[in-house]
Structure 1
Amino acid sequence: MTTDPNDSALAAPDTLDRPVDQLDDAEASAELLYLADKLAAADRAYYEDSDPELTDAEYDRLRQRNNAVEDAFPHLVLEHSPSQKVGAAPSSDFAKVEHLVPMLSLDNAFSEEDVESFMARMRRFLNLGSDEPFAVTAEPKIDGVSANLLYRNGKLVRAATRGDGRVGEDITANVRMLDDIRDELAGSGWPDEIEIRGEVYMTWEAFEALNAEAERKGTKTYVNPRNTASGSLRQLDPNVTKARPLKFFAYGWGGVSESFATRQSEALELFKSWGLPVNDLIKRCETVEDVIAHYQTIQEARPTLGYDIDGVVYKADRLDYQSRLGIASRAPRWAIAHKFPAEKAETLVEAIDIQVGRTGSLTPVARLKPVSVGGVVVSNATLHNQDYIAGYRRVDGTVQKVTDDIRVGDRVRIQRAGDVIPQVLEVVNPDRQGREDAFVFPDHCPECGSLALRDVDPKTGEEDARVRCTGGLICPAQVQERLKHFVSRRALDIDGLGDKQIALFYERGIVKTPADVFRLPERIAEAGYDPLDTWEGFGETSAQNLFAAIDAKRTSPFARFLNGLGIRHVGDVVARNIAMRFGRWQDFHALMLAAGTVEDGLQDYKRLRHHPDLPERVTLALFEIDTSALDGTDENPWPFPLLEAVRAAGVNLQGKHSEALGERYPAKDDFTAEITRLKPVHDAIRAIEAIDGLGFAAGSSLVAFFEESHNRDVLETLVGQPDGEAGLMQIEDAAQPKQAEDSPVAGKTLVFTGTLSRMTRDEAKARALSLGAKVSGSVSAKTDLLIAGEKAGSKRTKAESLGVKVISEDDWMDMIADL
Structure 2
Amino acid sequence: MKKLSEEEARKRIEELREQINYHNYRYYVLNDPIISDEEYDELMRELKELEAMFPHLITPDSPTQRVGAPPREEFGTVRHAMPMLSLEDARNPDELREFDRRIKRALGLPEDATIEYVAEPKYDGTSMEVVYENGRFTRAATRGDGVVGEDVTPNARTIKTLPLRLIATDRWPIPARIDVRGEVLMKKKDFEELNRERMERGEPLFANPRNAAAGSLRQLDPNITAQRKLDFVTWGVGLVEGVEFKTHWDVIDALKSYGFKTSFPVRLAKGIEEVIEYYLELQDKRDDFEYELDGIVVKVNSLELWERLGTTARSPRYAFAGKFKPRQKTTRLIDVVYQVGRTGIITPVAVLEPVEVGGVIVSRATLHNFDEVKRKGVMVGDYVLVQRAGDVIPEIVKPIPERRTGKEKPIEPPKRCPVCGAETVREGAYYKCVNIACPAKLKGMLRHMASRRALDIEGLGEKLSQLLVDRGLVKDPADLFYLKK
Q: Give the TM-score range, shorter chain.
A: 0.7 to 0.9
Asked if the contact 1:70/1:77 (under 8 Å) is kept, the reply is yes
**Aligned with 1:88: secondary structure?**
coil
Q: Which residue of 1 aligns with 2:460?
A: none
1:394-793 to 2 correspondences below 5 Å: 409-413=381-385, 423-424=397-398, 426-427=400-401, 429=403, 435-436=405-406
CA contact under 8 A between 2:37 and 2:389: conserved in structure 1?
no
Q: Is the 8 A contact 1:347 1:368 kept in 2?
A: no
Amino acid at match of 1:436: G
Task: Return the alpha-carbon distance in structure 1 between the equivalents of residues 206 and 349 of structure 2.
Answer: 28
Contact 2:66 2:313 in 1 (8 A): no
The equivalent position to 1:283 in structure 2, one of 249, 267, 282, is 267
| Aligned with residue 292 of structure 2, among 303, 308, 313 | 308
Q: Where does residue 422 of structure 2 map in the other structure?
A: none
1:50 corresponds in structure 2 to: 31
User: Which of 295, 299, 304 in structure 1 is aligned with 2:283?
Assistant: 299
Distance 2:116 2:213 in 1: 33
Counterpart pick for 1:154 among 135, 148, 151: 135
Which of residues 272, 293, 310 is equivalent to 1:326?
Answer: 310
Identify the residue that residue 80 of structure 2 maps to in structure 1: 99
Partner of 1:539: none
CA distance in 2, matches of 1:112, 1:330: 23
Query: Residues of 1 paired with 2:277 and 2:299: CA distance?
Result: 16
CA distance in 2, matches of 1:428, 1:417: 24
In structure 1, distance between residues paired with 2:308 and 2:190: 42
| CA positional deviation for 1:253 | 0.6
C-alpha distance in structure 2 between counterparts of 1:214 and 1:113, whole Å: 43
Match of 1:65 among 16, 31, 46: 46
Give the conservation status (yes or no) of the 8 Å contact 2:184–2:230: yes
**Cα separation, partners in 2 of 1:193 and 1:407, compared to 1, 3 Å:** closer
Q: How far is 1:79 from its partner?
A: 4.3
Assess, with a 3 A threshold, how the Cα gap between structure 1 residues 262 and 166 changes in structure 2: closer, same or farther. Answer: same
* Aligned mates of 1:272, 1:149 — CA distance in 2: 15
CA distance, structure 1, for counterparts of residue 136 and residue 350 of structure 2: 55
1:224 to 187, 208, 221: 208
**Relative to structure 1, is the Cα distance of residues 426 and 25 closer, same or farther in structure 2, using a 3 angstrom cutoff?**
farther
1:639-679 deviation per Cα after TM superposition (whole angstroms, max 9, x unaligned) = xxxxxxxxxxxxxxxxxxxxxxxxxxxxxxxxxxxxxxxxx
- Contact in 2 for aligned 1:136/1:285 (Cα 8 Å): yes
Q: Which runs of 5+ in 2 are unaligned?
A: 336-347, 411-425, 429-485
**Aligned partners of 2:231 and 2:402: how far apart in 1?**
42
1:7-47 deviations in Å (ceiling 9; x for gaps): xxxxxxxxxxxx1x433333323322222222222222222
- Report how many aligned residue pairs link the two structures: 387
Q: Judging changes above 3 Å, is the alpha-carbon distance between structure 1 residues 132 and 91 closer, same or farther for their aligned structure 2 residues?
A: same
Counterpart-to-counterpart distance in 2, 1:160 and 1:67? 29
| Partner of residue 28, structure 1 | 9
**Within 2, Cα distance between the matches of 1:159 and 1:84?**
25
> Which residue is 2:103 aligned to?
122
Letter in 2 for 1:105: S
What is the alpha-carbon distance in structure 1 between the residues aligned to residue 234 and residue 214 of structure 2?
Answer: 17
Preserved contact between residue 415 and residue 425 of structure 1 (Cα < 8 Å): no
Matches of 2:149 and 2:385 in 1, distance apart?
A: 41
Deviation of 1:96 (Å): 1.1
Distance across 2 between alignment mates of 1:132 and 1:296: 23
Deviation at 1:383, TM superposition (A): 7.4
Task: Tell me the secondary structure at the aligned position of residue 289 of structure 1.
Answer: helix
CA distance in structure 1 between the partners assigned to 2:351 and 2:153 by the alignment: 46
**1:201 aligned to 185, 205, 208, which one?**
185
For residue 366 of structure 2, what is the aligned residue in structure 1? Answer: 378
Please, which moves more after superposition, 212-221 or 77-86?
212-221
Query: Structure 2: which amino acid aligns with 1:413?
Result: L
Per the normalisation by structure 1, the TM-score is 0.44
- 1:164 and 1:280 mapped to 2: Cα distance? 27
Local SS of the residue matching 2:128: strand
- Name the counterpart of 1:346: 330
Q: Find the residue that maps to 2:81 and give its secondary structure.
A: coil
Question: What letter matches 2:30 in structure 1?
Answer: D
Alignment CA distance shift 1:232-1:407 (3 Å): closer
Distance 1:378 1:438, change over 3 A: closer
Q: Deviations over 1:603-635 (max 9, x none)?
A: xxxxxxxxxxxxxxxxxxxxxxxxxxxxxxxxx
**C-alpha deviation, 1:138, in angstroms:** 0.7
Deviations 1:659-708 (A, max 9, x none): xxxxxxxxxxxxxxxxxxxxxxxxxxxxxxxxxxxxxxxxxxxxxxxxxx
Assess, with a 3 A threshold, how the Cα gap between structure 1 residues 201 and 438 changes in structure 2: closer, same or farther. closer
Whole-Å separation in 2 of the counterparts to 1:140 and 1:89: 27
**Does the Cα contact within 8 Å between 1:260 and 1:267 map onto a contact in 2?**
no
Give the superposition deviation at 1:314: 0.4
The answer to which structure has the higher strand fraction is 2
Corresponding position of 1:448: none
CA 382–24 in structure 1, closer or farther in 2 if over 3 Å, else same: farther
Shift in alpha-carbon separation, 1:139–1:165, aligned structure 2, 3 A: same
Aligned residue identity for 1:302: R
**Following TM superposition, by how much is the alpha carbon of 1:410 offset from its aligned partner in structure 2, in angstroms?**
4.3
- 2:194, 2:149 → 1: CA distance? 27
**Cα RMSD between the aligned structures?**
3.2
State the identity %. 35
- The alpha carbon displacement at 1:160 in A equals 0.5
Partner deviation per Cα, 1:54-87 (whole Å, 9 max, x = no partner)? 2212222211122112112223334431112212
- DSSP 3-state at the match of 1:254: strand
After TM superposition, give the deviation of residue 407 of structure 1 in Å.
8.3
1:245 aligns with 2:219: no
Whole-angstrom CA distance in 2 between matches of 1:343 and 1:58 = 14
1:84 equivalent in structure 2: 65
Distance 2:121 2:270 in 1: 17
Q: Which amino acid aligns with 2:86?
A: S
Q: Deviations over 1:420-446 (max 9, x none)?
A: x8542644636xxxx329999xxxxxx
Indicate the SS of the match to 2:182.
strand
8 Å CA contact 2:179, 2:239 repeated in 1: yes
Q: CA deviation at 1:412?
A: 3.6
Cα distance change, pair 23–171 in 1 and its aligned pair in 2 (3 A): same
Using a 3 Å threshold, how does the CA distance of structure 1 residues 208 and 291 change in structure 2: closer, same or farther?
same
Q: If you compute each CA radius of gyration, which structure gives the higher value, 1 or 2? A: 1
Q: Deviations over 1:66-120 (max 9, x none)?
A: 2112112223334431112212212201111111100000011112111001011
Question: Deviations for 1:260-316, whole angstroms, at most 9, x for unmatched residues?
Answer: 221111210111111011122111111222111101111122101121111111000
Letter in 1 for 2:235: Y
Please give the alpha-carbon distance, in whole angstroms, between the structure 2 residues aligned to 1:254 and 1:348: 48
| C-alpha separation in 1, matches of 2:396 and 2:53 | 25
Looking at structure 1, the residues matched to 333 and 216 of structure 2 have their Cα atoms a distance apart, in angstroms, of 39
Give the letter for the 2:104 counterpart.
R
User: Which ranges in structure 1 are unaligned for 5 or more consecutive residues?
Assistant: 1-18, 352-365, 390-405, 441-476, 481-819
Equivalent AA in structure 2 for residue 101 of structure 1: M
TM-score (norm 2): 0.72
Please state whether the residue corresponding to 2:403 is helix, strand or coil: coil
Cα distance in 1, alignment partners of residues 314 and 21 from structure 2: 15
By relative contact order (CA 8 Å, sep 6+), the higher-ranking structure is 2
Within 2, Cα distance between the matches of 1:203 and 1:59? 25
Task: Go from structure 1 to structure 2 and tell me whether the alpha carbon gap of 1:192 and 1:410 turns closer, same or farther (over 3 Å shift).
Answer: same
C-alpha change, 1:368 and 1:274, in structure 2 (3 Å) is closer
For 2:136, the aligned partner's letter is: K
| Distance of 1:425 and 1:334 partners within structure 2 | 40
Q: Quote the residue 1:143 is aligned against.
A: 124
**SS at 2:276's partner residue?**
helix
Look up the SS of the partner of 1:251 in the other structure: strand
Change (3 A) 1:425 1:73: farther
Q: Distance in 2 between matches of 1:269 and 1:202?
A: 23
Q: Does 1:234 align with 2:218?
A: yes
What does residue 196 of structure 2 align with?
212
Deviation of residue 190 (structure 1)?
3.3
